Amino acid sequence: MNYKGGYAGNILRINLTNKEIDRLPTGNYSPLFLGGRGIAAKIYWDEVPPDITPFDPENRLIFITGPVSATTGFCGSRWQICGKSPVHDMFSYCNMGGNWGGRLKMAGYDGLVVYGSSDKPVYLWISNDEVEIRPADKLVGKGAIDCREELNEELGKDVCVVAIGQAGENRVRFANLIGDKDSSGSSGLAAVMGSKNLKAIAVRGKQKVMPAGLERVKHIRKRALSLMSGLDEEYVSAVAPHRELVPQDRTKKDICYSCIGHKCIRRKYRSEAGNQGKFMCGSSFYYIVRANRYYGEVNDVPFEANKLCDNYGLDTHVVEPMLMWLIRCYKAGILTEDTTGLPFSKIGSLEFIDTLLRKISLREGIGDILAEGPKKAAEALGSEAQELISDYINKNDQLPFYGARMYITTGLFYAMEPRLPIQQLHEISTLAMRWAINELQKPEKEGVTTDTFRAIAKRFWGSELGADFSTYDGKALAAAKIQDRQYAKESLILCDFNWPIMYADSTEDNVGDPTLENQLCSAVTGIDVDEEGLNRIGERVFNLQRAILIREGWDGRKNDTLDEFDYTSPLKGDIGNPESLLPGKDGENFSRKGLVIDHEKFEKMKDEYYDIRGWDVQTGLQKKKRLEELGLEDVARTLSEENLLS
């Protein structure tokens, strides 16, 4: 199968040990794996032995785009980084926005594979055929944003830079990469970049990447825009309630490269001092309440705290639960200002957060322990400290966003993934939140009704039972369908804010169109792919990732588990939905507040899920027949030789 459009045609490979630069045809991988996560997983499977460590030079950092990225007529901005993660000690990934991925594609490369390790600090310069490994001594010790700005000053404003800060240099396990527009990538892959002595990658590219059918792509774009309802103001307020505490006159829309999302919630903030940067939902708001409480007024400290995290290169999704745990330890007398050097009496101040982040990023004093992540830090401090972290931090060292106690189906996503599976979680949570807004706030313009929710579940998740949150029935099928669709989406790659288009206020039944992705894939690549065919690609990629994890020690069913608090700590409420209301039986409202996951029912749900997947129900291991049906004969052969098949 030869694709006609959507690809630059080459994957750039750079060996930092011996300074070799090579190129491979993207066509070696695209027929079966399309792009994005698919191609990255295949490269990783072929090249990374299961027993190496994340900081081993033979670990790969795979920077990858998809056929939609930078495609004329439908420019996508998303791109991914994959490799063995120091957070999970196995294959993981992160997804970034901004312009960098598009620029790599326009420089002539669908992906970049970096391996080996430089004996001196370096950065990569990529400008079409000009590819160089350049010294980075003057950039060492600088923050990721500072590094990016210095390279832009030297190389030009049209150059896109992804860099690491001091946290990545010092192999902090939850270090982030920071790209242009302050896009960030987690899973600790910045620490892997630091272990390779690679400070930054600067890219300039201006080549057009043409789809096979430009007019068809334009038609699909028009159709998508007509269906997209966007994330309305009520939804944004629900998922980011602290946004109200930030001066809105200093924020403005800051979309990624040629974004199709006309109602994207991505925002940039400008401080009184003139500093600017991304400041939007979720992690960006973690310090607002504490800062406002400390200063007694709204000010720029939360924004500055967020920028400190970005510049040091730290994952705010880990910093926030760590901060919660540190406060608990301080109140319990386990930690003091004298023993840690942290000014706990000034929590909420810029001084406190700067001191904490600096110590972690430079591994100074207590920061050396904290740099391993909250769970490992708690282990180092003893059982009393561990008890204070057991009820709210999950296996990813993060808070349990959109967890199983609320949505049931999301339990399977958490159980099957090494990291926070945010794209899969959003397919359920975004729709459910919009339903809650319509049900609880009764807006003037009606949104996602219960009938619409059930109709969407039937079309996208396999049955109306997917929208009955009073039962475990129908959730295994919903999970499998969502995973296949999301893995296909992560291979194209499409933005999570806008895809899939499930709710559409312009259609008669308000149900969106799940065939748009396969139509777009066909228009861009020139190969006809129907909805089932694209989802099959997603299933293939999901199974390949499962095989990688199994090779790296994931023990099937034994590891497909939830955190203990999901079974023991009753749900207290959900963001913007304090009573945790969802549709229940026959569409009647059902509250999940106070509930936990029923262990026996969850295990039965896994039985059904494994059967749908064609895996062994007893062990959760894959079967040779199903892998071969998916075109993964080489994977089946390797797993069979290593006794890792059922």
59 lies in a domain?
Answer: yes
Range of weakest confidence among 277-286, 512-521, 576-585, 602-611 = 277-286
**Exposure string for 213-228, b = 16+ CB within 10 A, e = fewer:** bbebbeebbeebeebb
232 lies in a domain?
Answer: no
Residues written for the chain: 646
Cα distance between residue 244 and residue 440, in whole Å: 20
Q: Can you give the pTM of this predicted structure?
A: 0.94
- Hey, is 24 helix, strand or coil? strand
Are 544 and 42 a contacting pair, CB within 8 Å? yes
- Phi/psi for 283 (5° steps) reads -65, -25
Q: Within this chain, do residues 304 and 437 fall inside the same structural domain, yes or no?
A: no
Are 8 and 109 a contacting pair, CB within 8 Å? yes
4 lies in a domain?
Answer: no
- Hey, is 194 helix, strand or coil? helix
The single-letter DSSP state of residue 73 is T
CATH number of the domain enclosing 414 = 1.10.599.10
Helix (H) or strand (E) holding 316: helix 316-331
Range of weakest confidence among 78-82, 200-204, 236-240 = 236-240
218 lies in a domain?
Answer: no
The residue ranges of DSSP E strands in 166-215, in sequence order, are: 177-178, 184-185, 198-204
Amino acid at 590: F
Q: Within this chain, do residues 107 and 27 fall inside the same structural domain, yes or no?
A: yes
Q: Within this chain, do residues 588 and 521 fall inside the same structural domain, yes or no?
A: yes
Least Cα distance to 193 among 57, 19, 64, 42 occurs for 57
288 lies in a domain?
Answer: yes
Q: Within this chain, do residues 246 and 189 fall inside the same structural domain, yes or no?
A: no
CATH number of the domain enclosing 142 = 3.60.9.10
Q: Within this chain, do residues 373 and 418 fall inside the same structural domain, yes or no?
A: no
Number of domains comprising the chain: 3
Question: Is pLDDT above 70 for 248?
Answer: no
Q: What is the band of 246 on the pLDDT scale with cuts at 50, 70, 90?
A: low
Q: Within this chain, do residues 178 and 79 fall inside the same structural domain, yes or no?
A: yes
Q: Within this chain, do residues 41 and 188 fall inside the same structural domain, yes or no?
A: yes
> What's the average model confidence in pLDDT over 92-104?
93
Q: What is the band of 241 on the pLDDT scale with cuts at 50, 70, 90?
A: very low
CA 445 vs CA 75, 234, 238, 442, 505: distances in Å: 31, 11, 17, 8, 10
CATH number of the domain enclosing 316 = 1.10.569.10
The single-letter DSSP state of residue 397 is S
Q: Within this chain, do residues 183 and 258 fall inside the same structural domain, yes or no?
A: no
> What's the average model confidence in pLDDT over 374-380?
94
211 lies in a domain?
Answer: no
Q: Within this chain, do residues 450 and 581 fall inside the same structural domain, yes or no?
A: yes
Q: Within this chain, do residues 568 and 432 fall inside the same structural domain, yes or no?
A: yes
Q: Report CA Rg, the chain.
A: 23
512 lies in a domain?
Answer: yes
Domain termination residue (choose one: 357, 387, 417): 387
> What's the average model confidence in pLDDT over 215-237?
75
325 lies in a domain?
Answer: yes
Percent over 70 (pLDDT), the chain? 94
Cα distance between residue 460 and residue 4, in whole Å: 29
Of 98 and 367, which is predicted with more confidence?
A: 367
Q: Within this chain, do residues 478 and 616 fall inside the same structural domain, yes or no?
A: yes
Range of weakest confidence among 24-38, 59-73, 161-175, 474-488 = 59-73
Domain termination residue (choose one: 327, 358, 387): 387
Show the domain range for 251: 241-387
pLDDT digits (tens, 9 = 90+) for 296-322: 888 888 888 889 999 999 999 899 899
Question: Is pLDDT above 70 for 501?
Answer: yes
pLDDT digits (tens, 9 = 90+) for 411-453: 999 999 989 999 999 999 999 999 998 888 887 778 899 999 9
Domain termination residue (choose one: 204, 220, 254): 204
Q: Within this chain, do residues 100 and 14 fall inside the same structural domain, yes or no?
A: yes
Query: Which distant-in-sequence residues (6+ apart) come within 8 Å of 246 by Cβ?
Result: 269, 279, 285, 288, 298, 302, 303
Cα distance between residue 387 and residue 217, in whole Å: 54
Question: Is pLDDT above 70 for 258?
Answer: no
